[in-house]
Structure 1
């Protein structure tokens, strides 16, 4: 694999008692790109993410990251390499402030994540970096707000900040705009584009307007297999893709759920 690609899967397959959830997937993610993984419900997108992050072991195939075969690694090893996943469900601490949430993520770099007895002042050096990360996702004015009081879209922005705190080289975003109103979708879409600078993003996303506006490349899964791969303009006209989305025309595809 050339340095051009940060991640490659080769023949990646996952079977569950005879059911093939991911079937012989060859995927290449170009370094520095936003790469979208789309497909109808049940297409195998979440299973594929679970294989990348080692929540599942593949039945066959390989996962290569930065030219290293990581197929047999433990989840923690893979995370330390800089592959960080953000989940569909907002994963923040509701009864901590926005700043404290980011600071907690930054503690990992100090090796004090579980040192609950340490004085809080030992964490003060992290505040400046935490505030930088909040600025990156447009949350600096919410630093002292209790997270439970944040609107849903802002919570997802906070989750982006805590993901960035782990210094990912490859961010896996699992349906980042799910459940959002139009205004929040637009805001989070722009944030994803903003934080992608200097990073690579692989995202599962159901909103085709999001995908068409920020993804450099799109891979379409159906029944666990790739049926199309390329830029949006090309993929959205592919007859197999249009058919997979119940569809009729590419306008139906734009509003489809993945």
Structure 2
């Protein structure tokens, strides 16, 4: 397997006269966690959208493990191993946790076995779901209606849904958004477990979390990459500290 998970070459996205992403070039290595930071409107979510295929690019190339995916749609990129979570929780709120996971597992794995092997498929499905319940610490809530869970547990469920197809590349857009302070530690542990063996691109406004989880950080501003480096270097960069991280890190 290539050591390069995603390679961007002069990727651009425009909305009319606005260049939301401008000539973004970067190589994301396999198995590393990358933090994406920058002020509101910097282009972070737009970048994840164009990488996942939820938004078409208007220039440049995107390679996924060596394959050109620039013109592929989101479901086609998912087959290349790209998984995507969103700022707003996307679950089935009227269904139980178990029902949510079963639907996602059936969609993700229904093509793996022919119909005459359905009993074996059902056993494999049940095992996969049980493993995901354990990973997300949701076993105790398996029969709970998802919409009644705390927001932190809903985010854990959404991450579980994203992980069921076993993506090689995980794009996480503010996975702690709306999570209560008392749930941040558990959510951070879950993200760390989910990142094991995967390439992760993480957008998160909680600087303590992103500095802890990330091996490398990319800073965006006005659609352009303006800085990159390990967390310590980014933390000590005077421009980044003043413009993007603010007094919380400066202190």
TM-score normalised by structure 2 residue count: 0.91
Deviations 1:39-59 (A, max 9, x none): 000001111111112222222
Structure 2 residue runs of 5 or longer lacking an equivalent are: 112-120
Structure 1 residue runs of 5 or longer lacking an equivalent are: 113-121, 253-258
Deviations 1:55-112 (A, max 9, x none): 2222211111101111111222111111010111111111111111111110014438
Bigger CA drift: 45-54 or 238-247?
Answer: 238-247
The answer to whether 1:86 aligns with 2:48 is no
Q: CA deviation at 1:241?
A: 1.1
Structure 1 partner of 2:175: 176
For the 8 Å contact 1:222–1:244, the answer to whether it is kept is no
The answer to whether 1:240 aligns with 2:239 is yes
Bigger CA drift: 92-101 or 51-60?
Answer: 51-60
Give the Cα separation in 1 of the matches to 2:215 and 2:203: 14
Give the Cα separation in 1 of the matches to 2:246 and 2:95: 45
Give the Cα separation in 1 of the matches to 2:52 and 2:171: 9
Q: Counterpart of 1:29 in 2: which secondary structure? A: strand
Q: Which has the higher helix share?
A: 2
Deviations 1:11-47 (A, max 9, x none): 1111222211111111221211111111000001111
The answer to whether 1:42 aligns with 2:53 is no
Structure 2 partner of 1:27: 26
Q: CA deviation at 1:218?
A: 0.6
For the 8 Å contact 1:102–1:130, the answer to whether it is kept is yes
Give the Cα separation in 1 of the matches to 2:179 and 2:21: 28
Cα-Cα RMSD: 2.2
Q: Counterpart of 1:245 in 2: which secondary structure? A: helix
Q: CA deviation at 1:3?
A: 2.0
For the 8 Å contact 1:131–1:143, the answer to whether it is kept is no
Structure 1 partner of 2:153: 154
The answer to whether 1:218 aligns with 2:217 is yes
Structure 1 partner of 2:201: 202
Give the Cα separation in 1 of the matches to 2:76 and 2:101: 22
Structure 1 residues 65, 213: CA separation in 2 closer, same or farther (over 3 Å shift)? same
Give the Cα separation in 1 of the matches to 2:87 and 2:122: 29
Give the Cα separation in 2 of the matches to 1:149 and 1:123: 28
Structure 1 residues 22, 128: CA separation in 2 closer, same or farther (over 3 Å shift)? same
Q: CA deviation at 1:243?
A: 3.2
Bigger CA drift: 231-240 or 216-225?
Answer: 231-240
Structure 1 partner of 2:105: 106
Give the Cα separation in 2 of the matches to 1:181 and 1:110: 33
Give the Cα separation in 1 of the matches to 2:248 and 2:192: 27
For the 8 Å contact 2:241–2:250, the answer to whether it is kept is no
